[in-house]
A = this chain, B = another copy of it.
């Protein structure tokens, strides 16, 4: 919780620099070794959690803002974010921030304004990140998707909508670059799909299909050292991968 002085400063500053009534929230899904997580912040002194979000500078392009906000809140940089939905219920933020109501007049309190929020989602390898909370958060952490804490505002809805969008994306776009290490095994890649979709896939059929997309290159040397048969290593054929991103996997019609 902020002091009165801090709050007023923040609000003055916000009014000066940010575009009113508009915010951005980021749903960053993290994957590593079969675990799917989502990046959350925890409010200082309260224990409640929320998605990393923030406001748009008055002259800032929105894509840039989404990246800046994510970096400021969580330290994560250079993440490919994709917008997926605007959440615009007029009351979506009303029930919160009541705690400051005696400290500042409502019309001066930036946080009690109405905000439309634009949701962005991303998928990253959470082991290559160093989440760092900003000054307003007690911590920034990867939360298990199946064991989420209570989320502020409508952030649970935003998260669910993002997950639906991500799953839909699997059907017509490749996924996994920036997520898998440079070289990875087919079972490792399969784990990614299984984790996102939250269901088991057939090993053999997965491999056939994935190879059919033509976005993978198999390296000569299999991985050594593990217990059990040495798996082949694959890497993404970036040229074909990018092409598939644009074209989509199948037209359907």
Chain A residues within 8 Å of B, Cβ to Cβ: 19-22, 56, 58-63, 83, 85-86, 88-90, 114, 116, 118, 168, 170-172, 193, 197, 201, 248, 250-253
Contacts and interface: CB of A to CB of B under 8 A. Distances in A.
B86 A61 contact: no
A106 B100 CA distance: 35
Given A19-B20, A21-B21, A86-B118, 7 more contacts: A19-B116, A61-B90, A62-B86, A62-B116, A63-B88, A83-B85, A171-B253
Given A60-B90, A61-B90, A193 B83 contact: no
A253 B88 contact: no
Given A22-B22, A88-B61, A252 B114 contact: no
A25 to B, nearest CB: 13
Copy number of this protein in the oligomer? Answer: 2
9 contacts: A19-B114, A22-B22, A61-B89, A63-B88, A83-B86, A168-B248, A170-B252, A171-B250, A193-B253
Nearest to A118: B86
Which of A21, A59, A85, A193 gathers most chain B CB within 10 Å? Answer: A21
A26 to B, nearest CB: 14
B83 A172 contact: no
Contacts of A172: 168, 171, 252
A85 B89 CA distance: 17
Contacts of A88: 56, 61-63
Given A20-B21, A116-B22, A90 B253 contact: no
A114 B57 CA distance: 11
Given A21-B19, A22-B22, A59-B114, A252 B171 contact: yes
Contacts of A61: 88-90
